[in-house]
Amino acid sequence: MLTPSIDINERGYGATITTVKAAQDHERAESLRDLVDAHRRLQGSVLRFLSLFDDARARSTRNEPRAFEVLVGLLEKKARAAGFARMRELSAAVQAAREAARQRELLFFDSFGTDAPALREAARELERLDATLVGLCVEHVLRLNAPMGARPGLRRA
């Protein structure tokens, strides 16, 4: 297949622009975009969950950029210190998020990143983890805001 090229002659200078990647690789580009978006949403959910455990002093440093690995570790640490009710589930989600983030990084290497189905599956895994963390966070907020008499001692099945 021939690579399309465009000849440009502007101000007397001649140049040829040749596309590096063909437009036919649209599926891979969409898969990469979905993977990046899923990771960004997961990181945003971790930051929002962390904000539940922040005190006034920590809020001023919350906007500093931190590696995802550091953020999920901090979430686990702060949740444990706060006596988070579903620590086992949160720890499992944090471990899965660490593994999914490592897999995401591997997929950006050219030899792995050409596999569009693997990219889509990695994005779906990040979305599932995001939904799990959001659910745990919402449950935590509901428990904190429930009237004293309505707070369950045990988790309902």
Look over the chain and give the mean of its residue pLDDT values, rounded to a whole number.
78
Q: Which carries the bigger pLDDT value, residue 23 or residue 37? A: 37
Residue 43 and residue 71 in contact, taking contact as beta carbons nearer than 8 Å: yes
Number of domains the chain is built from = 1
Residue 56 located in a structural domain: yes
11 found inside a domain: no
Two tokens, residue 71: 């953020």
18, with CB counted inside 10 A (0-12, 13-18, 19+), is exposed
> Has residue 122 been placed in a domain?
yes
| Of 23 and 34, more confident | 34
Specify whether the CB–CB gap between 76 and 91 falls below 8 A.
yes
129 touches 99 (CB < 8 A): no
User: 């309902």: which residue's tokens?
Assistant: 156
pLDDT value at 96 more than 90: yes
In this predicted structure, the answer to whether residue 149 has a pLDDT above a threshold of 70 is no
Residue 74 falls inside a structural domain: yes
- Residue 58 falls within a domain, yes or no? yes
Domain around 139: 22-146
For the segment 125-134, the average pLDDT, to the nearest whole number, is 94
Does residue 116 fall inside a structural domain? yes
- Res. 8: pLDDT tops 50: yes
Looking up residue 53, the CATH number of its domain turns out to be 1.20.120
pTM of the model: 0.70
